């Protein structure tokens, strides 16, 4: 009996009650922690300190794309009972599956690199622990959390972490004066200041993360009930969308708060931030020691929780190569988790500039993202895969539009390096 059946039983059915939506909150928040991770912190601090409010639009655009993509990935999991990696292995030629899923495992590794590195930076801020020693400690803690704890316990831990991170930024924002009129314009007005494209792409890669699409299609099945019952499937699809929408809005708020804080404290005073410790050191004299400590604690929580989800995603993708669901008691899932976390740790030992390592890792994710998006569109639009739940024409149009935007931004990034 695998991960999904052990959670609820094969024929478990929901009770449709007035507060049942509360039963669905959870999978979306696990995905949310992936785009409020340390890589996002680096990208958002760079965006806010270098360009003020002008790149807030990228958080809005990325979140809108994310809502559509994450709901579509969860749609696949609910309707078929397969995660994205399993479906790729089952419904695409073997060489295509190996190529796409191999690149997705690498994306998970670079994601884990950013998460572990960010948590290690937080430990250095709080306790003066050397970066590499902190990275080893974080990797061991996260490995223990994944191998020793059930999904339900991890979900509760991560929901708690997301809540504390959100409260931390609310506290930070109460200490600064934000120009809300400029912020409102920044959220809805696309701009490309000179030299900003790498930062824009890092924000995109930090918000719309390929490993999260694989993860959501897997963990949504922690709420799976009787795939043979059309009424239950449709019911799940409706409430899953509410969970996704709520969770993505929470993520939009936290990412926006990072840029607002950086724009107000750093950009307005002409500080160019090149590392997260520098951001903390600048915050301390301006906002007080409490703000600096809260900043570091929130970064530590973000790093630990997102490292857990990156490991889960790597395990899920690797298991999918063997047409299996994620199950930490199965060797393929365990190997996938181990490869993701320990290969990321090994790369950290060769990273010379931690802050740039965070930003570049997010940019690399945005390069892999179109591959995952095209795979997802192919699978969720196929009647052979989805049956009656295949994407309708409007959804296909919106998904292809998102794929075109992501691909276009990647082409612009490559051209910017050749100029």
The three-state DSSP-derived secondary structure of 143-206 is HHHHHHCCHHHHHHHHHHHHHHHHHHHHHHHCCCCCCHHHHHHHHHCCCCCCCCHHHHHHHHHH
Residue 319: name the closest of 91, 2, 40, 31 by CA: 2
Other Cβ atoms less than 10 A from the Cβ of 115: the count is 32
Q: What is the pTM of this model?
A: 0.81
- Alpha-helical regions (H) of 230-288: 230-265, 276-287
At 381 the pLDDT is 96
The length of the chain in residues reads: 419
Task: List CB contacts of 152: < 8 A, sequence separation 6 or more.
Answer: 7, 222
What is the phi-psi region of residue 361: left when phi exceeds 0, alpha when psi lies from -120 to 50, beta otherwise?
alpha
At 197 the pLDDT is 78
By the 8 A CB rule, do 143 and 338 touch? yes
Give the burial class of 35: count Cβ atoms within 10 A of its Cβ; 0-12 exposed, 13-18 middle, 19 or more buried.
Answer: buried
At 223 the pLDDT is 53
In the structure encoding, which two tokens stand for residue 324, read together?
């299996």
By the 8 A CB rule, do 372 and 216 touch? no
- The per-residue pLDDT string of the chain (419 residues; one tens digit each, 9 = 90 and over) reads 444 444 434 444 444 444 444 455 556 677 777 667 776 777 788 888 899 999 999 889 888 988 899 899 988 988 888 999 999 999 999 999 999 999 999 989 988 988 898 899 899 988 999 999 999 999 999 999 999 876 667 777 777 877 888 888 888 888 888 999 999 999 999 998 888 877 887 677 666 778 888 988 888 776 554 455 677 777 777 778 888 888 888 889 888 988 998 898 888 777 777 667 666 665 676 666 777 888 888 889 888 988 998 999 999 999 999 999 898 889 999 999 999 999 999 999 988 777 667 666 666 777 788 889 999 999 999 999 999 999 999 999 999 998 888 777 767 765 665 55
Asked if CATH classification 2.60.34.10 holds for the domain at 3-8+34-418, the reply, yes or no, is no
Give the burial class of 388: count Cβ atoms within 10 A of its Cβ; 0-12 exposed, 13-18 middle, 19 or more buried.
Answer: exposed
By the 8 A CB rule, do 47 and 262 touch? yes
How does 58-84 read in b/e, with b if 16+ C-beta sit within 10 Å?
bbbbbbebbbbbbbbbbbbbbbbebbb
Cα(91)–Cα(80) distance, rounded to whole angstroms? 12
Residue 406: name the closest of 356, 361, 368, 357 by CA: 368
Q: In degrees, to the nearest 5, what angle opens at C-alpha 140 toward C-alphas 5 and 25?
A: 40
Residue spans per domain, the chain: 3-8+34-418
At 222 the pLDDT is 60
At 19 the pLDDT is 41
Other Cβ atoms less than 10 A from the Cβ of 395: the count is 17
Q: How far is CA 249 from its chain centroid?
A: 13
In the structure encoding, which two tokens stand for residue 257, read together?
């708060």
Give the burial class of 405: count Cβ atoms within 10 A of its Cβ; 0-12 exposed, 13-18 middle, 19 or more buried.
Answer: middle
At 16 the pLDDT is 41
Cα(241)–Cα(207) distance, rounded to whole angstroms? 18
Residue with tokens 């910017």: 416
At 14 the pLDDT is 44
At 306 the pLDDT is 87
At 359 the pLDDT is 63
At 6 the pLDDT is 42
- 146-154: list long-range contacts, CB under 8 Å, 24+ apart: 146/308, 146/311, 146/312, 146/315, 146/328, 146/337, 147/328, 147/334, 147/337, 151/3, 151/7, 151/219, 151/222, 152/7, 152/222, 154/30, 154/308, 154/312
At 196 the pLDDT is 83
Residue 39: name the closest of 100, 105, 111 by CA: 111
SS3 365: helix
**Sign, Cα dihedral of 183, 187, 190, 195:** positive
How does 205-225 read in b/e, with b if 16+ C-beta sit within 10 Å?
bbbbbbbbbbbbbbbbbbbbb
């Amino acid at each position: 009996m695998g991960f999904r059946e052990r959670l609820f039983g094969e024929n478990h059915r929901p009770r449709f009650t007035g507060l049942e939506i509360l039963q669905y909150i959870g999978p979306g928040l696990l995905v949310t922690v992936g785009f409020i991770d340390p890589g996002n912190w680096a990208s958002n601090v760079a965006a806010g300190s270098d360009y003020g409010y002008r790149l807030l639009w990228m958080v809005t655009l990325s979140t809108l794309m994310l809502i559509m993509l994450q709901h579509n990935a969860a749609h696949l999991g609910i309707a078929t009972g397969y995660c994205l990696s399993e479906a790729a292995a089952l419904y695409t030629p073997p060489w295509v599956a190996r190529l796409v899923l191999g690149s997705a495992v690498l994306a998970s590794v670079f994601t884990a690199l950013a998460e572990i590195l960010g948590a290690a930076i937080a430990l250095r801020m709080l306790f003066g622990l050397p970066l590499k020693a902190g990275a080893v400690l974080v990797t061991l803690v996260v490995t223990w959390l994944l191998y020793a704890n059930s999904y339900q316990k991890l979900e509760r831990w991560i929901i708690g972490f997301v809540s504390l991170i959100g409260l931390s930024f609310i506290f930070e924002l109460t200490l600064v004066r934000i120009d809300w009129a400029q912020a409102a314009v920044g959220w809805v007005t696309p701009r490309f200041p000179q030299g900003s494209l790498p930062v824009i792409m890092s924000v995109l890669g930090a918000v719309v993360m390929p490993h999260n699409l694989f993860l959501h299609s897997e963990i949504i099945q922690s709420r799976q009930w009787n795939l043979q019952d059309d009424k239950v499937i449709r019911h799940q699809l409706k409430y899953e969308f509410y969970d996704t929408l709520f969770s993505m809005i929470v993520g939009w708020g936290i990412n926006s708060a990072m840029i607002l804080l950086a724009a107000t404290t750093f950009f307005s005073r002409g500080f160019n931030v090149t590392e997260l410790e520098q951001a903390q050191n600048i915050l301390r004299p301006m906002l007080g020691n409490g703000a600096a400590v809260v900043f570091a604690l929130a970064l530590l929580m973000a790093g630990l929780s997102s490292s857990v989800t990156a490991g889960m995603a790597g395990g899920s993708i690797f298991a999918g190569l063997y047409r299996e669901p994620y199950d930490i008691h199965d060797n393929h899932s365990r190997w996938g988790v181990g490869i993701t976390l320990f290969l990321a740790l090994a790369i950290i030992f060769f990273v010379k500039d931690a802050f740039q390592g965070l930003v570049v890792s997010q940019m690399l994710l945005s390069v892999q993202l179109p591959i995952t998006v095209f795979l997802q569109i192919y699978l969720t639009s196929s009647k052979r895969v989805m049956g009656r739940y295949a994407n309708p024409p409007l959804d296909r149009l919106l998904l292809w539009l998102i794929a075109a935007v992501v691909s276009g931004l990647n082409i612009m990034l490559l051209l910017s390096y050749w100029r």
